[in-house]
Amino acid sequence: MKNTIDGKLLLASASPRRKELLTQMGVSFEVRISNQEERCESTIPQEMVKELALQKAENVAREYWKKEAGEKGAFPVRILGADTIVVQNGAILGKPKNRTDAVRMIRDLQGSSHFVYTGVALLCYDAAGQKTVQTHVEETRVFVHPMTGDEILEYVNSGECDDKAGAYGIQGSFGKYIHRIEGDYYNVVGLPLSAVYQMLKRNGI
């Protein structure tokens, strides 16, 4: 696999985990973060993540057009957006507001299963600036072992739960509580590598 694509690749995400995963894939990219707020109209998890991923990519695309579209070598360009949510029994578990909220989430997740959905949107602008759009939604089911109250508190107090959907990171110390998964492990981390690679492969890798 080449380590560059035909033109720039911009990652429309502030997530260090997505940055690490895209680096792991071996492609060159730049991180661009939009300060615009995303708003979701759908209430269906699979549609929500797709909608939010597309908004992230489009927000970065608008800023790119304003600031850099007139520069030499600005096109072709690919813009990759992603959004991940954790869903249990139809309820969406976002990032915990505080440690108390994190304890509540982990108590709900332990001894049970839940779903992780990641929406991916890839905007592809050719040399003439013409856009095509591809989207994808990945689903992974995660089964968590029963946990004691002390185990929950120990994990939450470690701080690893902070800023993570569902209040946990599968790639960290919470991994010892994961019984099994059905689907893509990297999707739970925050970016389904195989799906993203295939999308990029179809568009210039």
Q: What is the pLDDT of residues 178-198, one digit of tens each?
A: 999 999 999 999 999 999 999
Does the pLDDT of residue 5 top 70, yes or no?
no
At 158, the pLDDT band (50, 70, 90 cuts) reads: very high
Q: What would the mean pLDDT of 68-79 be, rounded to a whole number?
A: 76
Does the pLDDT of residue 29 top 70, yes or no?
yes
What pLDDT digit, counting tens, does each position of 106-148 carry?
A: 999 999 999 999 999 999 998 888 899 999 999 999 999 999 9
Average pLDDT, the chain: 90
Helix (H) or strand (E) holding 134: strand 131-144
- Kindly list the catalytic residues: 83
CB 135 within 8 A of CB 54: yes
CB 125 within 8 A of CB 45: no
Asked whether the whole model's pTM tops 0.85, one would answer yes
Helix (H) or strand (E) holding 201: helix 193-201
Identify the pLDDT of residue 163. 86
φ and ψ of 137, to 5 deg: -125, 130
φ and ψ of 192, to 5 deg: -70, 100
Other Cβ atoms closer than 10 A to 193: 17
At 70, the pLDDT band (50, 70, 90 cuts) reads: low
Name the one residue in this structure whose structure tokens are 């108590």.
107
